[in-house]
Amino acid sequence: MPRVTTAPALTTVAPPSRPAAPARRGDIQGMRALAIIAVVLYHAGVPGLTGGFVGVDLFFVVSGFLITGLLLREVAGRGQVDLSRFWARRVRRLLPASTLALLATGIGIVTLLPLLERSAALVDLQWATLFSANWRFALQETDYLAGGRATSPVLHFWSLGVEEQFYVVWPLLIALVVVAVRALHRRTGATPSGVPTRTLTVVIAAVAVASFVECVRLTTTNQPFAFFGTPARAWQLAAGALLALGARQVGKLPAAVRQALAVAGLIGLGVAVAALSEGGRGGLAYPGWASLLPTLSAVALLAAGTGGDTLVGRALSVQPLQWIGDVSYSWYLWHWPFLVIGGAALGGAGPRGRIALALASLVVAAVAYRFVENPLRSAPRLARSNRLSMAFGAVMVLVTLGATQLLAARTQDTVEKGIPITVPGPDGELVERVLRPDPAVAAQDYRAMTPLGCALSYEDTVPNECLFGDPEGGRSAVLLGDSHSSVMLPGLDLAGQAQGWRVNLWGKNACPIADVTKWDDQRKAVFTECDEYRTAVLERTIAAQPDVVFLVSAYNSTTTLIDRTGGAEITGAAMHAEMTAGLRSVAQRLTAAGIHVVLIDEPPQAPFDPPDCLVEQGSAEACAFPAPEGWRMSPESDAADGLADVEVLDLSTATCPGETCHVVAEDMVVYRDQSHLTKTYVESLTPSFEALLARLG
């Protein structure tokens, strides 16, 4: 009988299929167009559209939705997240266009920006290259909503920093959840599912809730970190991610419901722009609770288009909006450098000029999209190799950092040579001198007290010990006040060392030591931490029983005080009276405890940035300015009038001997900005502090 051999049938196992790309959604491209138009018009200062910054919130939600959807499809089709493939695609999508924009911006910085702004702008550019500009601006407490005061040419890279950090962390989070769920299934013998939707929903919802709580908290305690910080913005990306997880269920909604969602979302975005466009005390603290409106409106628009077409979706899909949506990334990269650097080159552009610059940036963006962004995103050779894509990205980052370093070195060489400034000589003749500090670096001529906990920031109310002068001295002085107290420290510190006095600095930035209530325009709230600091620091001072207390309480055109009874804003002459009464109240409380009080009267605020003027004009006389009307009747002198054990240390007469105030004293630059004095100049005032301490000692 013939021998029969049976063999198992051959089974061909197909490799994991590549997830099918979703159909292009025209409504999403239209949403991108609306977002970039809103942002550009806001930055261009178009009246009535100053809430356009919510376009960034729209970008966040869209990114969270699309990226999470991409990752979920990859898990469903491949069984896992291919991290290297994902990151390589992000590199090809984002870095070529951003590298070109950053290199061009660097050249614009060193050729068109004023010398004083170049060094800081180049540092900003390096942070932007590493997609961490959001942390740079948060640490600097930059007010993004302050319009003209925020002049970094790469300020807009803060949002790209948030998104890039999201692109690094998010796929890792999803991959870890997938691995953890499958490991649990293996241990329990449960049948694994393709995408662990429920677990991912719980995890991402937890991220969203925690992030939103942090966003609300920081908005009232440290607004720059709420605005720029990734932890406080992650909930907006997570909101889009949650919609991606529930897309199948949302797509089953009745057409009428989706139509209503689309209309509600569009109206919500419009209302957000209008409601968030008000400045001053009528505005809303942002992001905080206010950011719910644009975020949920964006979710509604996305949800409406998930199950099919809507009337709003068709309107968003018209060709002009599709084209703007296509170039939206490049336009975002180019518009702000055009407005900042172009505006500086033109000596300040008006409304029409800014719109013209914004339109010019659109032309450049279209060219960059056509010849750089789009070709390199889909370049076949790069697309075939994740390693090559990642290496290409690393080269672009290194090239940008290297080029920026060269530009920074060139700027530093110019600064180190010194800028001769024409000043009056001993006999009245004009002579050229290199000043101390050089005007190009005068802005950095200060003693940093905030890192030491001696000049508190937003939420802090209790300063450290912060002992200066002679630590073993037999007499003691305490210096209280806002950031101007840190300004006065160098002179008082040297005087204390010479005269054997201990000197404590207990200050709080932006917080008057006068007994007044200040409005915090960044947070759109009463600066309650300032009141808490004042109460605590006065109790601490009285308990310490120093021999003398120096009070510095500056106020200027940006200060907003409010009436404690009715909540109305205090302006004009009433502000002078309020500051006078507030200083007098604090001085009386200290003298009642047997403490001598010295009120420091500083030079008045300049109407421009003096170091910038010196660099641009090259002449000290050209930068002198008329003394403000009534400036000699300062709150300090009025507060001290008639009070025993209270005196005024007048530091203003030397710079304003008559009706003109000077920004240069001998060979020293007096101001480092409009109101703060340079450390060099304050150290030259040491003899005045010494004489006072010697008299009191």
Residues in the chain: 697
Q: Is the pLDDT of residue 573 over 70?
A: yes
| Cα 602 from Cα 585, distance rounded (Å) | 20
Give the CA distances from residue 1 to residues 4, 5, 7, 180, in Å, rounded to whole numbers and listed in that order.
Answer: 9, 12, 19, 56
pLDDT at 463: 87
Write the single-letter amino acid at 632: R
Give the CA distances from residue 495 to residues 86, 485, 552, in Å, rounded to whole numbers and listed in that order.
Answer: 61, 15, 17
Q: Is the pLDDT of residue 278 over 80?
A: no
Question: Which tokens belong to 628?
Answer: 């403000």
- Mean pLDDT throughout 618-627? 95
Question: Which tokens belong to 529?
Answer: 């931490």
Q: What is the pLDDT of residues 120-174, one digit of tens each?
A: 999 999 999 999 999 999 988 776 665 434 489 999 999 999 999 999 999 999 9
Q: What is the pLDDT of residues 64-91, one digit of tens each?
A: 999 999 999 999 998 899 999 999 999 9
When mean pLDDT is compared across 73-77, 319-323, 622-626, 633-637, the lowest value belongs to 633-637
DSSP notation for 250-267: HTTS-HHHHHHHHHHHHH
| Cα 554 from Cα 575, distance rounded (Å) | 12
pLDDT bin (cut points 50, 70, 90) of residue 2 is: very low
pLDDT at 6: 34
- Mean pLDDT throughout 312-321? 97
Query: Hey, what CATH class is 444-606+631-660+679-696 in?
Result: alpha beta
pLDDT bin (cut points 50, 70, 90) of residue 3 is: very low
Q: Is the pLDDT of residue 9 over 80?
A: no
Check: CB of residue 458 under 8 Å from CB of residue 221. Answer: yes
Domain ranges of the chain: 33-408, 444-606+631-660+679-696
More confident residue, 634 or 156: 156
pLDDT at 601: 94
pLDDT bin (cut points 50, 70, 90) of residue 16 is: very low
- Adjacent-strand bridge partners of 551: 480, 599
pLDDT at 20: 53
When mean pLDDT is compared across 131-140, 181-190, 676-685, the lowest value belongs to 181-190
pLDDT at 674: 93
| Cα 145 from Cα 149, distance rounded (Å) | 9
- Mean pLDDT throughout 444-469? 88
Residue 569 backbone dihedrals phi, psi, to 5 degrees: -75, 140
* 548-552 and 475-481 beta bridge pairing: parallel
Give the CA distances from residue 268 to residues 157, 274, 290, 294, 324, in Å, rounded to whole numbers and listed in that order.
Answer: 26, 10, 12, 7, 22
pLDDT bin (cut points 50, 70, 90) of residue 22 is: low
When mean pLDDT is compared across 35-44, 83-92, 219-228, 389-398, the lowest value belongs to 219-228
pLDDT at 469: 97
Which sign does the torsion angle of CA 86, 88, 90, 93 carry? negative
| Cα 342 from Cα 624, distance rounded (Å) | 28
pLDDT at 282: 54
Q: Is the pLDDT of residue 413 over 80?
A: yes
Check: CB of residue 683 under 8 Å from CB of residue 490. Answer: yes
What pTM does this model have?
0.85
- Round the average pLDDT of the chain to a whole number and report it: 91
- Mean pLDDT throughout 353-363? 97
**% of the chain at pLDDT higher than 70:** 94
Q: What's the alpha-carbon Rg for the chain, to the nearest Å?
A: 30
Check: CB of residue 30 under 8 Å from CB of residue 316. Answer: yes
Q: Is the pLDDT of residue 572 over 50?
A: yes
Q: At what angle do helices 328-337 and 351-368 cross, to 10 degrees?
A: 140
By CB neighbour count within 10 A (0-12 exposed, 13-18 middle, 19+ buried), where does 348 fall? exposed
pLDDT bin (cut points 50, 70, 90) of residue 274 is: confident
3-class SS shares of the chain: helix, strand, coil, % to 5 = 60, 10, 30
pLDDT at 564: 86
Which residues neighbour 386 within 8 Å (Cβ) at sequence distance 6 or greater? 84, 85, 87, 88
| Cα 23 from Cα 25, distance rounded (Å) | 6
DSSP notation for 597-611: EEEEEPPPPPSS-HH
* 596-601 and 646-650 beta bridge pairing: parallel
More confident residue, 17 or 571: 571
**% of the chain at pLDDT higher than 90:** 72
Secondary structure of residue 697 in the 3-state scheme: coil
pLDDT at 556: 74
pLDDT at 606: 94
- Mean pLDDT throughout 501-516? 96
